[in-house]
Amino acid sequence: MTKTTSWETLADAKRKAVRSKIPLDWILPNELLYKYDSTSKESVLDIPAKFLSPKELDITENHTPAELLDSIKASKISSLDAIKAFSHRAAIATQLTNCCTEIMFEYGIKRAKFLDNYLIENKKPYGLLHGLPISLKDSFNVPGYDSTIGYVKRIGNMPKEESDLVKLLLDLGANFYVKTNIPQTLMTADSENNIFGRTLNPGCLNKTAGGSSGGEGALIQMRGSILGFGTDIAGSIRIPSLCCGVYGYRPSAKRIPVGNEEEPSHRDPHISILPVAGPLSTDMESLVMVTKSIIDHKPWNYGLETFRIPYQDPGVSADSKLRIGFIFEDPNLPVHPPLKRILKEAKEKLSSVGHNVEIIDNHPSFDYAWELAWKLFQVDAKDSSFKDLIELNEKLIKSLTLPGIEVYGEGPKDINGVINLKEEVQIYTFEWLTIFKDYDVIIAPGAPSMAPPHDTYGIAPYTGVWNLVDFPATIIPFGNANANIDKDDGTVYPEKLKHIYAHYDPETYDGAIGHVQVVAPHLEDEKLLACSVIIDKVLNAK
């Protein structure tokens, strides 16, 4: 890469090189592609069915990850057929939504052949996740493929060693075939960058797919993947999950390895908020399955920072009656009418089957949590996350230039300021721990609304709060907005956030997928997952 080459030229060449790896007979007709862009209100969820074979459609459409895994282990579906089917569907999905970055179909096919031969020769699977296709956020390193994370400067970086989690998943027998799109710097909820463009929401293309694991959310919603991994430092797993109507899990820090990934900052120590890696999927039980598989495989042998905590008895069973605290909104961060209704419906459903549900009105401020988190994110005196942009004079994406964020203040300027800020976080965390003593889990919104229009998501207090205190959380899709029911209720939205906090318009969210966020205290991940399965079965009973 030379300094005389413009970033636009470099980005264009990289984009074309990646797209050239899609087989020609998988390229969608131009007349179809020209119909859709980021201003389209249409859904593209039904398009893959028009181009897949019956066999590919069955593999990608009719199995949960756990069911597909069982079929592959039992030789009912070969690993090769599985990876080819999901590769084809991912190729369709990325042409319609820009959800993928690195195309790794050859990698997946080569590994699938190895796994199929291993099963035949050894009469047993290679590991607990034998042959299961898994998609990866672009930040995960796979040798031979770039991890640009949306920086033109990092084109061609091709890491020589796998990320810690990638190594672990490979040893469990998993297979990879795509990496997925992210926002420039990973610090916005709109997955757009100057290399691969903007990821669109498959259910409504003019809405955001979320970020920073937005490519994962979009790909899984289109079932170009049914299980993938993202990372989360302020909601980057849960925001795409709630925007795209899929399941997502943010674990407590250091339960799942997160080492040797590509990061925006060139500085390794995390003084602010610890990043985590976690799964997104088409169903809740598969999040439990893959998490248990990882922890049973002693992840501390892969990432030295990972806690040596075996998988714990969650302390609840399928027929347990849970103690659930319910939070509808922070008065300083009003929730839009559709989501208020959906949260109330969730509460009523859970109460109707015998769960002990209590409304929590007096709780710590989500708005204050975001202020603390925002100041912590600025603890980088060298501002290294922008260094690679400055060197090439690469332009910022629009969502990074939204006005209004500065109202939360500047970060600490010296070590004393950092210590004072950390003390505030500790006091705030203890306030939540006191509340959690009375409940198994707490249910709260994950955002003020459903997926908003592009470049309007703004701040993330309803997810970022749990990163700040390091509590595990899941997103469960539930309910839909209805313009005929969810009228403007007269709520006055904060003037200080007028540029980044969208005013409610019933038509904007009509039909959009709702959600609940389920939260448990620090390191009670197994309990969170078990409770989330119970809650999901009540809310989404067939």
Residue 324, marked binder: no
Residue 393 C-beta-side C-alpha neighbours within 13 Å: 6
For the chain, the C-alpha Rg in angstroms (whole number) is 22
Catalytic residue among 163, 212, 225, 385: 212
Q: Is 352 part of the annotated catalytic residue set? A: no
Q: What is the dihedral of CA 404, 409, 411, 416, to 10 degrees?
A: 180
3-state secondary structure of 1: coil
User: Burial, 406: exposed, middle or buried (Cβ in 10 Å; 0-12, 13-18, 19+)?
Assistant: exposed
Residue 512, marked binder: no
Question: What does DSSP say about strands 133-137 and 175-180: parallel, antiparallel, or unpaired?
Answer: parallel
Residue 236, marked binder: yes
Q: Is 236 part of the annotated catalytic residue set? A: yes
What is the number of helices (H) and of strands (E) in the chain? 16, 13
Distance CA 163, CA 153 (A): 20
Closest C-alpha among 515, 474, 523 to residue 314: 523
User: ω into residue 212 within 30 of 0, thus cis?
Assistant: yes
Residue 235, marked binder: yes
Distance CA 200, CA 214 (A): 9
Distance CA 200, CA 244 (A): 10
Taking the alpha carbons at both ends of the chain, their separation in whole angstroms is: 54
Q: How far is CA 14 from CA 7, 37, 244, in A?
A: 11, 21, 27
Q: How far is CA 396 from CA 99, 263, 386, 456, in A?
A: 20, 17, 10, 16
Catalytic residue among 79, 236, 241, 449: 236
Catalytic residue among 137, 179, 207, 340: 137
Query: Is residue 488 a contact partner of residue 337, using CB atoms and an 8 Å limit?
Result: yes
List residues with catalytic annotation: 137, 212, 236
Binding residues: 186, 212, 233-236
Binding residues for substrate: 186, 212, 233-236
